[in-house]
């Protein structure tokens, strides 16, 4: 969830400085010249300093940033947008939920697999406790005209186990397109997940080609709580099926008696040779349990309002998000570019207007 600092303008304010004609051009130059690199640098060195602790959403550093931005608006004599029960001064406050990803466990044939050791995932689905009697290996999890792992198969209610990427022939050409280079399936996890959802699968597990490296690259994202906007009386539920990235070590255990060293390479060679899926049913009972701890936090957008002289029913909204990653493993992620740069540009534009 991105906290925003929002600068609301009436459209006519922009028109008044952009209309054709020398007087207006000179007016635009006059106020445009108030946007100075020295001021941008000053604001950015403050907002991206260590004292703001990376401006993590809902945390003290983000609150400091909101206070700084609102004080800048006040110093420019920009007024808060007055809306009863919506704004508190310059602040539009809202609640969010932090969902810890650590409440996920996968259990197969009595073996419990550990999050950020055997598997990782990105929460896009609701909590669940799911017992699935059917696990199926499904090649690469692709459905396309020239290559189809789903052909003549009913995968409804099953946990699907699939390789990452896509199959290629001996010359490195995609079996999906028949041409060199990756197809749309190669790195598009959403496409694989959406296809599994359409086929009414219970879950999708992707065997990661380079699990250890990928895990290190994504560990701090996968391990961070998911932020979700709180919408009161919201009864909607996610339609996404669970999707997990698993290690080769875990996949070999899921293959049971077939899971020996070299099994994955052997299956990939067979798929390459036969040019179709080597799907098979795996004789294991599987449980997926996701029960995440939830913490509510508050944050705020920062809004300033400048009223124009004409067409007051029309508004121009200029936004930038001012939060960032915060502190991860004792390292401050200062967020000068994302999106400190946009935030200070907005502050300078606010001053010019």
Confidence tier at 174 by pLDDT (50, 70, 90): very high
Confidence tier at 215 by pLDDT (50, 70, 90): very high
- pTM for this model (two decimals): 0.76
Higher pLDDT, 123 or 93: 93
Whole-number pLDDT of residue 18: 39
Confidence tier at 236 by pLDDT (50, 70, 90): confident
| Mean predicted confidence (pLDDT) in 59-82 | 94
Q: Is the pLDDT of residue 104 over 60?
A: yes
Confidence tier at 241 by pLDDT (50, 70, 90): very high
| Mean predicted confidence (pLDDT) in 331-340 | 95
Q: Is the pLDDT of residue 17 over 60?
A: no
Mean pLDDT lowest for which of 212-221, 232-241, 245-254, 259-268?
Answer: 232-241
Strands 243-246 and 203-207: parallel
Cα dist. 6→48, 84, 86, 100 in Å? Answer: 19, 18, 14, 29
Percentage of the chain beyond pLDDT 70 is: 92
Alpha carbons 240 and 193: distance in angstroms, whole number: 8
Whole-number pLDDT of residue 3: 64
Closest C-alpha among 119, 133, 111, 167 to residue 282 = 133
Residue 270, H or E segment: helix 263-274
Q: Is the pLDDT of residue 230 over 50?
A: yes
Higher pLDDT, 300 or 3: 300
Residues 6+ apart with CB under 8 A from 30: none
pLDDT in tens, 289-317: 999 889 999 999 999 988 887 887 888 88
| Mean predicted confidence (pLDDT) in 11-27 | 49
DSSP code per residue over 315-332: EEEEEEE--B-EEETTEE
What is the chain's mean pLDDT, rounded?
Answer: 88
SS3 call for 267: helix
Exposed, middle or buried: residue 97 (CB in 10 Å: 0-12, 13-18, 19+)? middle
Which residues make up the CATH 3.50.30.30 domain(s) of the chain? 104-209+236-290
Alpha carbons 73 and 348: distance in angstroms, whole number: 10
Q: Is the pLDDT of residue 175 over 90?
A: yes
Whole-number pLDDT of residue 13: 30
Closest C-alpha among 321, 120, 299 to residue 223 = 120
Q: What CATH architecture does domain 104-209+236-290 belong to? A: 3-Layer(bba) Sandwich (3.50)
């Amino acid at each position: 969830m991105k906290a925003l600092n929002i600068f609301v303008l009436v459209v006519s304010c922009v028109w008044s400085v952009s209309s054709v004609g020398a007087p207006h051009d000179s007016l635009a130059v006059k106020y445009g010249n108030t946007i100075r690199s020295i001021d941008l640098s000053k604001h950015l060195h403050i907002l991206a300093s260590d004292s703001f602790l990376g401006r993590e959403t809902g945390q003290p550093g983000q609150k400091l940033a909101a206070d700084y931005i609102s004080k800048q608006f006040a110093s420019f004599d920009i007024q808060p947008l007055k809306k009863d029960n919506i704004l508190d001064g310059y602040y539009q406050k809202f609640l969010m939920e932090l969902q810890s990803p650590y409440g996920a466990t996968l259990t197969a044939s009595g073996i419990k697999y550990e999050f950020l050791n055997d598997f990782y995932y990105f929460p896009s689905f609701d909590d669940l406790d799911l017992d699935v009697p059917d696990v199926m290996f499904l090649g690469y999890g692709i459905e396309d005209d020239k290559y189809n792992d789903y052909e003549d198969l009913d995968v409804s209610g099953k946990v699907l186990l699939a390789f990452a990427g896509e199959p290629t022939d001996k010359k490195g050409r995609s079996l999906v397109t028949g041409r060199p280079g990756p197809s749309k399936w190669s790195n598009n996890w959403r496409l694989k997940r959406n296809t599994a959802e359409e086929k009414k699968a219970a879950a999708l597990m992707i065997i990661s080609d380079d699990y250890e490296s990928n895990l290190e690259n994504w560990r701090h994202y996968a391990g961070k709580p998911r932020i979700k906007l709180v919408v009161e009386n919201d009864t909607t539920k996610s339609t996404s099926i669970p999707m997990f990235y698993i290690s080769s070590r875990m996949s070999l255990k899921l293959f049971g008696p077939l899971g020996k060293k070299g099994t994955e390479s052997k299956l990939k060679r067979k798929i390459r040779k036969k040019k179709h899926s080597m799907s098979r049913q795996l004789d294991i009972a599987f449980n997926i349990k996701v029960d995440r701890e939830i913490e509510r936090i508050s944050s705020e957008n920062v809004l300033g309002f400048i009223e124009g002289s004409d067409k007051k029913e029309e508004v121009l909204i200029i936004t930038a998000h001012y939060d960032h990653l915060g502190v991860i493993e004792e390292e401050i992620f200062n967020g000068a570019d994302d999106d400190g740069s946009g935030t200070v540009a907005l502050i300078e534009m606010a001053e010019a207007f």
